[in-house]
Amino acid sequence: MGENTAIQEKSTLSLLLGEVVHFRNLPKMNLTIYDSGILHFYIKDGEILNDDDYSEMSNWLKSIGNKKYLFLVEAGLKSELNDDFIKSSAEDNVHTIADAVIIKSMAQRIIANFYIKFNKPVNPTQIFPDAESAAFWLMSNFARFN
- pTM here is 0.85
Edge-first strand order for the sheet with 125-128 is: 20-25, 29-34, 38-43, 69-75, 96-102, 125-128
In this prediction, residue 146 carries a pLDDT of: 60
Tell me, what's the pLDDT at 3? Answer: 46
pLDDT, tens digit, 9 for 90 and up, residues 12-37: 899 889 999 999 999 999 999 999 99
3-state secondary structure 50-101: CHHHHHHHHHHHHHCCCCCEEEEEEECCCCEECHHHHHHHHHCCCCEEEEEE
Backbone angles phi, psi at 40, to 5 degrees: -85, 115
Cα 47-30-8 angle, rounded to 5 deg? 130
Whether the pLDDT of residue 4 is over 50: the answer is no
Lowest mean pLDDT of 25-29, 66-70, 76-80, 88-92, name the range. 88-92
Q: Residues 35-64: pLDDT tens digits?
A: 999 999 999 999 999 999 999 999 999 999
pLDDT at residue 59, as a whole number: 92
User: In this predicted model, what pLDDT tens digit does every residue of 107-144 receive, in sequence order?
Assistant: 888 888 887 887 777 889 899 999 999 999 999 988 77
Residue 23 near residue 32 (C-beta atoms within 8 A): yes
Amino acid at residue number 52? D
